[in-house]
């Protein structure tokens, strides 16, 4: 199984590139974030023509998550089953069973600024994600949680930690909230297969030539339960998909994270 998570930064803007990428990379299950479209505008038929079933949870301009699968798509759930009052429901989580794996597509709130209400809501959202896992899955089953976590797990997951003083994505509370999700019984499989590297980064700011300067962050993660992680043979970031192609086809500011799983 080839399992991919990718923040596409607008499905409408990215669909031609995404369709090309699907044709050349043959994913089995795609976890998409920031679709920025309504359920009505979701291009279900386009994916169907490529041989994929799909599910979407979105309401318009912001956020939006999807699961696209050619290995089946069952037991789809939009949003949290149990949601605390302090956790906003903003079309940031979607789950389904695909080919024997329970998959989640998640888009963790950005948090904006450390002293903001949005930062507090981000921590609450991650705590709610842990609760969702506790109430809907078993870590002894095959579970994959993929998405844009908006947290860099370690200092080496950003290009220069000294540039992040006082900023979100690298604070101890965010990392502890991510740790609590991992402590459900999940493993960061890209880190597992790249134990001694900086990054590999999955996001680069559009501004200032950040991609070409190597100024990125590793914030898009694929977390797998132990039985699933044991079947992972490769896990990597497709940096090619972040490059410009000339013409009107712009890249997302995120690159896809690709994970290969054997039966």
Partner DNA sequence: ATGGTAGCGCTGCTA
Residues that bind DNA (CB under 7 A): 9-10, 12-14, 36, 60-62, 109-110, 112, 118, 206-208, 250, 253
CB of 12 to DNA, least distance (A): 4
3-state secondary structure at position 169: coil
Task: Say how many CA atoms lie within 13 Å of 225 toward its Cβ.
Answer: 17
Task: Enter the tokens of residue 83.
Answer: 């949601």
CB of 254 to DNA, least distance (A): 9
Q: Which is nearer to DNA, 15 or 182 (CB)?
A: 15
CB of 206 to DNA, least distance (A): 4
From the list 28, 52, 119, 148, the catalytic residue is 148
Q: Which is nearer to DNA, 78 or 250 (CB)?
A: 250
From the list 107, 119, 157, 188, the catalytic residue is 107
CB of 1 to DNA, least distance (A): 28
Q: Which is nearer to DNA, 185 or 216 (CB)?
A: 216
3-state secondary structure at position 47: helix
Backbone angles phi, psi at 247, to 5 degrees: 70, -150
How far apart are alpha carbons 233 and 248 in whole angstroms?
35
How far apart are alpha carbons 98 and 69 in whole angstroms?
7
State the sign of the Cα–Cα–Cα–Cα dihedral 216, 21, 182, 109: positive
Q: Which is nearer to DNA, 74 or 206 (CB)?
A: 206
Any catalytic annotation for residue 148?
yes
Any catalytic annotation for residue 52?
no
How far apart are alpha carbons 192 and 259 in whole angstroms?
11
Task: Enter the tokens of residue 10.
Answer: 């607008």
Residues that are catalytic = 107, 148
């Amino acid at each position: 199984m080839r399992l991919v998570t990718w923040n596409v930064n607008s499905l409408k803007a990215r669909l031609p590139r995404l369709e090309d990428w699907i044709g050349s990379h043959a994913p089995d299950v795609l976890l998409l974030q920031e679709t920025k479209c309504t359920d009505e505008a979701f291009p279900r038929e386009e994916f169907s023509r490529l041989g994929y079933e799909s599910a979407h949870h979105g309401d318009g301009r912001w956020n939006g998550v999807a699961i696209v699968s050619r290995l089946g798509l069952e037991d789809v759930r939009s949003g949290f089953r149990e949601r605390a009052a302090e956790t906003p429901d903003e079309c940031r989580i979607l789950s389904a069973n695909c080919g024997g794996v329970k998959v989640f597509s998640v888009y963790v709130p950005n948090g904006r600024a450390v002293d903001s209400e949005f930062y507090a809501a981000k921590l609450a959202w991650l705590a709610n994600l842990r609760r969702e896992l506790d109430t809907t899955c078993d870590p002894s089953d095959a579970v994959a949680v993929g998405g844009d976590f908006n947290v860099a797990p370690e200092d080496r997951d950003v290009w220069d930690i000294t540039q992040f003083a006082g900023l979100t994505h690298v604070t101890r509370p965010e990392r502890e909230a991510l740790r609590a999700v991992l402590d459900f019984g999940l493993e960061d499989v890209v880190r597992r297969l790249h134990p001694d590297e900086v990054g590999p980064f999955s996001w680069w700011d559009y501004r200032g030539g950040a991609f070409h300067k190597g100024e990125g962050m590793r914030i898009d993660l694929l977390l797998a339960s132990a039985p699933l992680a044991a079947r992972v043979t490769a896990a990597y970031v497709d940096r090619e998909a972040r490059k410009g192609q000339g013409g009107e086809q712009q890249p997302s500011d995120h690159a896809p994270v690709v994970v290969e799983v054997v039966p």
